[in-house]
Copies of this chain bind each other. A is one copy, B any other.
Amino acid sequence: MAKRRSTIKDVAVEAGVSATTVSHVLNKTRYVSPEVTANVYKAIEKLNYKPNHMARSLRGAGTKAIGVIIADIREEFFAEIVKSIEKFCNRSDYIVYLCDSEDKIEKEAKYIQSLLAKDVDGIIISPVYSNTKISSLLDADIPIIQIDRYSKNIDSFFIGINNKKSALEATSYLINNDSEKILFVGYNDNVYTQKLRREGFLEAIEKNNRKVEYNIVSLDYMDNETLCTELGNAIDNYPDFDTVFCTTGKLCYNFLKAAMKKNLLQSQKLKILTYDNSKWLDLLKYPISSIKQPTEDIGRIAVEKMMNYLNSEEKICAESIHLDTELLIRK
């Protein structure tokens, strides 16, 4: 075996022309007579020649690959976004490196290094924190796009949702529907989305005339098991809430698990609202209202922007797009 992959030179010899001509035929980069063209294609066919992307890239063309860095591919929210990114990249014959940061800045940094070393044409990232300086990204001269989360230290286009507004709307809805004591469950403020969602929540409470009590649970990112335990503790520490507002689908899932263990879900008295519209919500024994994020749009717009950059039709600039969410009420 050990069949050597045939090169452009093999094709050239087989077709009786120079490698230059083969290259030009392949890339349609200058005129080549019909007969020669035909011969070249015949040779390519015969030798089953496939251009070597690496050599091509080395010469200066792009790699036709982009990196995508997200926190956890198992979360529906990220899976949907990645699916969308993948789909639209594929249409432009780009291929994606999947980088799962596990929400750890060290792994994030390592992946950025890897991606740059691999000479990706661009990076789409949902940064772990909103305040970490990723120096390597700064002087990389490839386009960066931030999705979902935004770090002010990365000078780039951003596509995500209107976090504050959506939280404000949702909280207002809760208050207007007789919530009097709300448990707000979110991650710590270093995460871009979390800070804004909390601000929206607080603003809604402030603006409202009626008396509303609340407690805030602020967590670090962790695995489901630990999260479940933590939320169990939270339930014990802050009793008597009539409403729960979770800032991510993962948090909501684990809250439900914890609540179930404590038999909190028997009486249908508790009102629950969460970000992320898991497709399973409709099938739960318990009604959960949700804030649906336009995941497909986020992925699509990110890729569209990236392609615009890469074809240099568009100059890179630090614009931001905040899409609206949809509040889905379940009773």
Task: Using CB atoms and an 8 Å cutoff, list the residues of chain A in contact with chain B.
Answer: 1-3, 48, 50-55, 57-58, 63-65, 68, 72-74, 76, 79-80, 82-83, 86-87, 90, 93, 95-100, 107, 110-111, 113-119, 139, 141, 224, 253, 256-257, 260, 278-280, 282-286
Contact = CB atoms under 8 A, between A and B. Distances in A.
Contacts of A257: 282-283
9 tightest A-B CB contacts, nearest first = A285-B285, A98-B98, A280-B280, A74-B79, A86-B100, A53-B117, A54-B58, A53-B118, A54-B57
A253 B224 contact: no
Given A54-B63, A284-B284, A114 B97 contact: no
Contacts of A282: 257, 260
A284 to B, nearest CB: 5
A279 to B, nearest CB: 7
A58 to B, nearest CB: 5
A253 B100 CA distance: 26
A79 B87 contact: no
A125 B98 CA distance: 15
A50 B117 contact: yes
Given A73-B73, A100-B86, A284-B285, A95 B79 contact: no
Nearest to A102: B87
16 contacts: A1-B139, A50-B117, A52-B117, A52-B119, A54-B119, A64-B118, A73-B73, A73-B79, A73-B86, A79-B79, A86-B98, A97-B98, A257-B282, A257-B283, A260-B283, A283-B285
Nearest to A116: B50
Nearest to A100: B86
B98 A82 contact: yes
A162 to B, nearest CB: 24
Contacts of A279: 224, 253
A293 to B, nearest CB: 14
Contact of A53 (B93, B119, B260, B286): B119
Given A50-B116, A54-B58, A260-B282, A141 B97 contact: no
Contacts of A48: 139
Contacts of A286: 283, 285
Given A50-B113, A55-B58, A257-B283, 19 more contacts: A1-B141, A2-B141, A48-B139, A50-B116, A54-B54, A54-B57, A54-B119, A58-B58, A72-B83, A73-B73, A73-B82, A73-B83, A74-B79, A79-B79, A86-B99, A95-B97, A95-B99, A283-B285, A285-B285
